[in-house]
Structure formats: structure tokens, C-alpha cells
Structure 1
Amino acid sequence: MTPMGRPLLNRRLAEFGTTIFAEMSALAVRTGSINLGQGFPDTDGPEEVREAAVRALRDGRGNQYPPGPGIPELRTAVAAHQQRWYGLPYDPDTEVLVTAGATEAIAASLLALLEPGDEVIALEPYYDSYAACIALAGGTRVPVTLRPSPADAAAERRYHLDLDELRDAVTDRTRLILLNTPHNPTGTVLSRDELAAIAELACERDLLVVTDEVYEHLVFEGEHVPMASFPGMRERTVTIGSAGKTFSFTGWKVGWVTGTPELVGAVRSAKQFLTYVSAGPFQYAVAEALALPDDYFHGLREDLRRKRDILSDGLAEAGFQVFRPSGTYFVTTDITALGEKDGLAFCLGLPERCGVVAVPNSVFYDDKEAGRSLVRFAFCKQDEVLRDAVSRLQRL
């Protein structure tokens, strides 16, 4: 309690401490451990994209405030990307908004579209900023839990969405569904049929959908199908994308929102009072990156598929139960087979035991017990780093 008679921190944020990624990355630095906790690559992306940023800096493009919605070149490139990969037409002048990464896009979307008391359905486990942003907007989060298939259902267990549970979660207070596919942390890629069912529900109950699709090019099995491509969904969907995961420049923090002029206008109204603008020179570089040939995107996917298999196979050999992901940077494991039960305690002790950092999945759940024995590892690292980590983990 402070001299002013109440806590300094807004009560909406009282349940949220320091993000787990900052905590575990600091632990990795402090102990000199291999950091498989936070999802950032340990090598930079394409040289031509980095040089495009240097060229923009030297040419004086973006060194001063760029336009609030983003530079025209990037907005045009985002629109062209959506048309090229998914056949979705967007007007770069009215239907594209550049943001400070996907995290700001999520915050601005929820702040713009929610009123206090509105309910938001989110797939659990969820990226930790979802819960914080819903709270900041005064909304109420309603988790619908992705659950693994039964142990005897397949050689490898995977997570799936219970559509009946999703439907039952909708009430008269539900304002929107917050989706993430490919899904962090489970690696689930929602199928066309699952997405069609969600679209039908959204139209039937007149719901908005905010969909985080930052891992759209990191799909190893199945396909990525944008929510906005389904009948009746373009006018009720805010789609979020990001350059960080696709081009391995996560520190640039360049993201974007696409949607109807009305939806993008609403999000822009909130976004302009957050960062206003950001990443000026990097916007020019990302505009060029989005036009890279198909071979780049296919090569990225195959490279990460190989890394996924190096880590997944190694973790299985080390005694973890592995949920091999269909997409993203991450593999979820169950530590029960190692004689462990508490993922948080396991992760806090792992650096001292074998010099590796991971993240406990329980922080991504409202129901902590549902994720208590689950631990997430990132595989967006060099092959030799992954093999070294696997060798260390086999000491367990």
C-alpha cells in the first residue's frame, strides 16, 4: 500500500507480473544456459532484407516520423502479400495498418473493439499478452482449452479444439473470439473444417474475430487458411501479421492489421495513442521482404521443419513426452515421464541441472493444473545449438 491509500498498479494488471519470457531469458543470461525459452532466432534473416534497412537509413527514408498508418510502400506490400498467398484483396490506403509488432496490433485491436464487461473467448493455452490486453480493455476472458488427443489415439499426441466447448462458451455478453493459428504454444494448426465451424458460429452469433496469424508461413503439416477467407468473415475479422517470425528480424517489431475500413479505422484510433508510429527504416525493408520469391518462404518452412525434428526427436530420446507441432517455433512436452510434476519448478531448476532454459506452459493457462506438467521449448535456433541442448537434456 502506498501513502496515497491504494496500490500504484492499476487493478486490471494486478494479476500480471513480469512476463515469463523476460524472466527466463534473464535466467539464461545469468546462468550461461542455452535459451530455448523465448521464441527468437539466433541468426539474422536474409542479407538482402538487412541491407534494405541499411539503405533506407542512409537514404534518409524513415528516419523521421513515418505516416501514422505506415509507409505506403509497406501497406501496398502487405495488401499484395494477402492477395498473392490467399487471394484476399485489401485496399492499402484504407484496409491496412502498420503496428509496432503483432503485440501492439493485439493491444490496439482489443482496446478499440471492447467495452468494459465484454467477454472474449481465447484458445487456452494462450500467448500471455492476450490476457493482459483483455484486462486492460476491461474485458472478461473466457478460455476454451485446446486438449491433447488420448495417449492411445495416435503414435504422437496432438492438440485439438472442441467445437462444442467453443459453442457453449458463447453468451449474450460475448463480443469477440481471439484466435491464434498456427497456435503458440501448442503448435496446433486449425483445420479448414475447424475454422469454417468458427466462422459459422461468429456469423450466427454476430461476433467479431481477432486472429493472430504471425506464424502463417511456418506450417509443417496441414495448411494455413485465413479466417477472413470464409463466407461472411471479411467484414467481421481483424487479421494480424508480423515480419518478425517470417523474416527472422524479431527486434524490428514490424506488424500489421488488415480488415475492412471500419475495423482498421477503429484499431487505428487506439493504436495512434500507443506508439503512434515506429520502425521507420525497417518498414521499407519489410516492404521489400514481403516481395521475396516463393523459394524463400518454402525454404524457411523446410529449415524449421528440420529443426523441429532435431529437437522433438532429441527430447523424446531424453524421456520427455513430445507433442510434435504442426507449426510455429515451439514444441510442447510433458515432464511426467521424467518423474516430474511441476513445470514451473522444473524450468527454474533446469539451468542448474543441465544448462538449458525452457518455459512452463502453466503461465499460458487460467486453469494452472491443465498445464502444470507441460513445458515449452523453442527450436528456432542453429542446428548445433539444438543438438547441444539435446545432449545436455539427456543428463536428466
Structure 2
Amino acid sequence: MKKKKVTSTDIARAAGVSQSAVSMILNQKYNVSFSKETVEKVERAAKEMNYQPPKRKIKKENRREKLLVVFCSNLTNPYYVMLLQGIESRAKEAGYGLFICNTQRDLKMEERYLRMMPEISPLGIIYTCNPSRCYMDTIEKLSEKIPIVIVNNQNEQLNVDAVELDNSKLGRLMARHLLELGHRDVAYIAPPLTIRQKQRSKRVEGFLKEFDKQGLKDRVIIKAAGEEMDQNVPNIDSEYKIGYDLTKELLAEKRDVTAIVGLNDMIAFGILDALHDEKYKVPGDISVMGCDNTLFARIHKVSLTTIEHFVVFKGRDACDIIMKKITTQNAGYSEIEPVSTYHVEYEPRLIVRGTTSYPKKIN
């Protein structure tokens, strides 16, 4: 016959005290005082009766933190900081924490973080850019177990949820603005245009298409940084330096341009400073344009013409999609779990400020 387990009530009877007194003494509640004699009686009775305190029950839902993982390729560009701001604000509202994986566009670093996912066990993953192609199979298999959202280039074929960005459309908008102002000879400055960074090439391609429609494609100078820029760990000024150094190079070549475009705002800031150092007036001598509408673009002394594509909202939407998927998984409305793929896209808008104007001389 199984021996009956000794309870705190049994100890109370043996020691001649209340059950609550036993509980407080055995749990060492030092904010309540008992006489030395009472404490000794309770402890002696517990020892003699071989009392085993009950194990504390941990609520199942508390065993796992509400954690989301965010993969970032670069935290030196305000674009990614803005995305994180949107993700974090929404996650905080819903009681989720974030684990940030800064891959620095390093394949080994990205692989290392992906291998950590089973151990970290997040409730969802957000990629703030396209995953490297060699890991797409891994991402799609992982998405069968937990929700994954990618803030990606619209033209990529991905079988996961996405907050989409049509980079080609951004490039076309930039080109149209300059063409409408009368610019014909322009330069486009970009980071490395590699296969891995296809979204950059799409932006450039969109720009070139608009100039090609006007028979002016040959009058666009494309200057892109070398591939080693992506292989190095990015510094806080990496993209700014691309804009600055390639503009200096362009000016040294004595190329006749009336406008210079940066693939993003950080590159455009480098372009502006290089032109300033070489005594060019903006937009009087040369117009300058960026893309992303980051905070610094709005500063009065910069006043950069750029493209707004609602980066913070994209971050919030990516988080919302994860939450919807988690809710669906836990709802249990039917025996079969529904499969849904979300795609969200914002229409970009041209923001005209003080760095673009009509060219000095229209050819």
C-alpha cells in the first residue's frame, strides 16, 4: 500500500500551530516573526515526519518567452533602423521581445544564426531583406514550423509571407522626376550590384528603363562600388563613403552631368558632401536625389529630394503578419490548419525638396 504523503496540515497538528504558520516558517518568510520555540517545533516535526515540500508548478505559458527574431543585413543604414523601429513598436504593444541577428551580409554569419533558431525557439522570424539564395530552402522548411515574413523585392519568387517592395518602381519614379525637370545627362551611384543584392540592381534597372524610353539610356553613367565593400564589415559611414568617393571619382573624370542619384539616402549624403567640397552648388550646378526618406533627409540644411516608401509601416506590417499566423495556429477552429500567404505593398511617393531643380543648361 502506498504511503500517504505528509502535508503541511499534518505538520501543523503535530506542532500544535496553524497551517499558515507552518507554511510561513518552512518557506522562510522572514518578514513575519515567530518565537524561537515555535520555529524549532515546526522544523523538528517536519524532519521527524520526513516532510517533502511540494514542487512549485510553472505555468506552461510562462516556460517560453514571447520572442521574435529579426534578421538584418546592415545596422549602419537608417533604413534598417527605421524598419526595426516599426517592428519593435508593434512587438512591444503585443508583449513580444526581439532578438536581432545582424548578418552584415556575411553568408557564414547568416548560416550561424539560422542554425541557432531551434535553440532560441522564436515564435516568428522577420527578414528585413531577401535571405541569401543558398538558404532559401532552409527558410521555406523553417516556415513550415514557425511564421516567417520577409521584407523583400517584389520580383523575387518566395513561398513565404512578404511585405513587398517594388524596387523597379522606385527607380522609375526617381528617373521620371529628373526627366520632367529636363535632366538628360545624369549619374547613378550605387553600392556593389552583385547577384546576391538583386534588389539594388532592380532599382537601377527601373531608373534606366525610363531613360531608355526617351532614347537617353546611353547618357546615364552607372558608378557602383566594388564587391569588396560587401565583404567587409560595414562601418557606420560605409554607404556615405561610397557616395562621397564615387562622386569625387566622377568629378575627376570631368563627366558632364546635371544630376547625380544615390541608390539610397546615405549614398546621397556622401554625394552632397563631395559636391560641397568641390565647390559645386546644389541644385544650382548639380541636382542630387536619394531614396528611402530617412530622418536626416528631412533636416532643413540637407532638404534631400527622395522617395518615401513607408519603411516604419512595413516593419509594423511584418510584425502584424507574424501575430496573425500565431493566432491562426492557436485558434483551433478546424481540424485542418489553414495555409495563408500574405503580401503587403505600399505605393511609393516622390518627396521633392531642395536638392533638385531644372538643369543649368538643357542639351
Q: TM-score, normalised by structure 2?
A: 0.31
Q: Which one has more relative contact order, counting CA pairs under 8 Å at least 6 apart?
A: 1
Larger radius of gyration: 2
